[in-house]
Amino acid sequence: MRIRPKRLQRGDTIGIVAPSSPPNQENLERSLAFLEQLGLKWKFGQYVKNVNGYLAGTDDERLQDLEDMFADPSISGIICAGGGYGSARYTDRLDLQLIRENPKVFWGFSDITFLHTAMGLYSNLVTFHGPMLASCVGKDTFHKLSAKMFHQLFEPMELHYTEDISPLTAIAGGSAQGELVGGNLSLLADTIGTKFEIDTKGKLLFIEDVGEEPYRVDGMLNQLRMAGKLADAAGIVIGDFSDVEPKKQQKTLSLDEVFRHYLGGLEKPVVEGFKIGHCEPHFAIPLGADAKLDADQKTLTILPGVE
């Protein structure tokens, strides 16, 4: 069993970090009113406003902010300001034992997938794949269901995803249960061959992505296939794949054809259409929590992520 972080309480202080690219500072400021509504205080990492090309400060600065927040006993949880690119640049230097000894809520998605995977493997921590402050919460498009998903941090609750939320399609039938792991497909492909390689054995693998053309998704799924990750998984949960149309007018396979080619013959449940990822609403999920995928009923049930 993974370590479930302690639930948040009203009055708790949240650490805000930018582990990847520079967040939009205006949206970040706007998002603070939402944290206030949740009854939370906040503390910015000292380098959250830094800009280093396409990175939010140097690798050392982003690494220090992250470790400082886990080490600080006054911080009850950590929410990422945004994603983009860059968290994998320092993950091999991240003190994952520090995180294991100071388990707390860690929330983000997209490029944060690399950190989720590392913390799952070496800190044994349940982390949260959910909408971030500058890239989601501080925007006018922030959906009330996305907002509601933060409540799982304050009370242990079982999550139920049905077609009441969005239409779902079963690519392959059956049901399976196991730890829910995964995240952004391109970042999962990046882990292959490193010490942070995603472990899918007996687990439900969740994938999502944005802005990747069908041939790119094809290549990444093929990478996971050849690394044995698709065969090892107990089932596949396909989240949102937005902005995936080919950029040039050319002959192409559809995304559905790509999914069916790689996932249709696995003889395990595969369901697509979950609003999890770069989308609104964004259904936030605890990674590392036990879950059940029923492709026949088209449901996903996830056990609580907090203690």
Residue numbers annotated as active site: 110, 208, 278
Q: Which of 143, 147, 141, 130 is nearest to 83 (CA)?
A: 130
Question: Contact, 217 vs 246, CB < 8 A?
Answer: no
- Collapsing DSSP states into helix, strand and coil, what is residue 263? helix
- 8-state DSSP, 223: H
From the centroid of its chain, how far is CA 165? 19
Backbone angles phi, psi at 13, to 5 degrees: -105, 130
- CA torsion sign for 186, 254, 162, 240 is positive
The gap from C-alpha 243 to its chain's centroid, in whole angstroms, comes to 18
Q: Give the count of beta carbons closer than 10 Å to the beta carbon of residue 292.
A: 19
290 Cβ neighbours under 8 A, 6+ residues apart: 177, 178, 179, 180, 302, 303
**Are 119 and 269 within 8 A, CB to CB?**
no
**Nearest alpha-carbon partner for 23 in 82, 87, 96:** 82
* Contact call for residues 75 and 180 (beta carbons, < 8 A): no
